[in-house]
Amino acid sequence: MQQIKQGIYYEDGYLGVTLGALILPLGTIIIDAPLKPEDARSWRSSLINQRGGANRVLVSLDSHIDRTLGVRMMECTIIAHQKAAQIYRNRPNIFKGQGFESGAEWESYMDAIGTRWATPDITFTDRLELHWGNPDVILEHHPGPTPGASWVIIPEEEIIFVGDTIVLNQPPFLANADLPEWIEALDLLNTRYANYLVISGRGGPVANEVIRAQYKSLKSILKGFEKLARRNAAPESTESLINNIMSDSSFNAEKTEQFVQRLRMGLYQHYVRHYRPTSQIDEDNMEGNGDS
């Protein structure tokens, strides 16, 4: 549990995604949840020991399985964007896993199968403000990596939690992405929020050059898709984009196979969704690779 400023923390030691927590006078705002029940119990205990106010809410930054499967174990009110909440509600009551490897973190934890989902209690469309004592906290919709992606913004402290808008030392999830919107979100981070400390949902604090590098990478991916589409290439041709994407990233070599598989499935599904709209993709499979 790493302190950023007084009462503001992130945690990147659990399987799944990077977590956040804001310990405020009137309560605790938790950002995302660990995958494993034992990790959720440990995280919950750590937060209780910080002696914040009695209230607790959890914000899901999107509906990706990695960040939502463990939400029930946090035992508190859940907030999510309405588009993310719709995905929650369309899921079966019990998680059954997916029919292929998507390169997500939950796939290394097979005990996740059989977990019961929790659904959001509160949803919002564009923006939601929480006034639980200084500093004020803003939840804001910023689609791109998924339709229901959101940020948690603390203007007074110039800190922002951005979920999968930025991923550190790994390739992005692309299946449910809208690349122009994602690029627009990164441009916003580079301009309006240039002086903010940005916390990635997969890796923790990131420098401005990381944001610029991801912006460049997504532009290159979009150009690659458009080039394939102009010659009416088959969806399988998207695999030709993998080497360039991987060469643009620094990552743990032990995870090469996982990351290549993440891109293989994500590129294929993204291309079919956006450039072959008459094709059919199983919605459950789409969710497994990206989020949404």
Residuewise pLDDT in 10s, the chain (292 residues):
899 999 999 999 998 899 999 999 888 999 999 999 999 999 988 888 887 667 899 999 999 999 999 998 998 999 999 999 999 888 888 887 765 688 888 888 888 787 888 889 999 999 999 998 889 999 999 999 999 999 999 999 999 999 999 999 999 999 999 999 999 999 999 999 999 999 999 999 999 999 999 999 999 999 999 999 999 999 999 999 999 898 877 787 888 899 999 999 999 999 999 987 665 444 434 444 444 4
Spatial CB neighbours of 227, under 8 Å, sequence gap ≥ 6:
none
The one-letter amino acid code at 13 reads G
Q: Which residues contact 113 (CB under 8 A, 6 or more apart)?
A: 95, 96, 97
Taking the C-alpha atoms of residue 116 and residue 136, their distance in angstroms, rounded to an integer, is: 33
State residue 189's pLDDT score.
95
Check: CB of residue 192 under 8 Å from CB of residue 158: no
pLDDT at 255: 85
**What pLDDT score was predicted for residue 92?**
82
- Pairing between β-strand 197-200 and β-strand 159-161 as defined by DSSP bridges: parallel
List domains and CATH numbers for the chain: 2-289 (3.60.15.10)
User: Rounded CA gap, 26 and 248, in Å?
Assistant: 44
Nearest CA to 144 out of 129, 119, 166 is that of 166
Q: Contact, 95 vs 37, CB < 8 A?
A: no
**pLDDT of amino acid 277:** 67
> What is the model's pLDDT at position 280?
46
pTM of the model: 0.90
Contact 155, 8 (CB under 8 A): no
Sign of the torsion angle spanned by Cα atoms 92, 94, 100, 105? positive
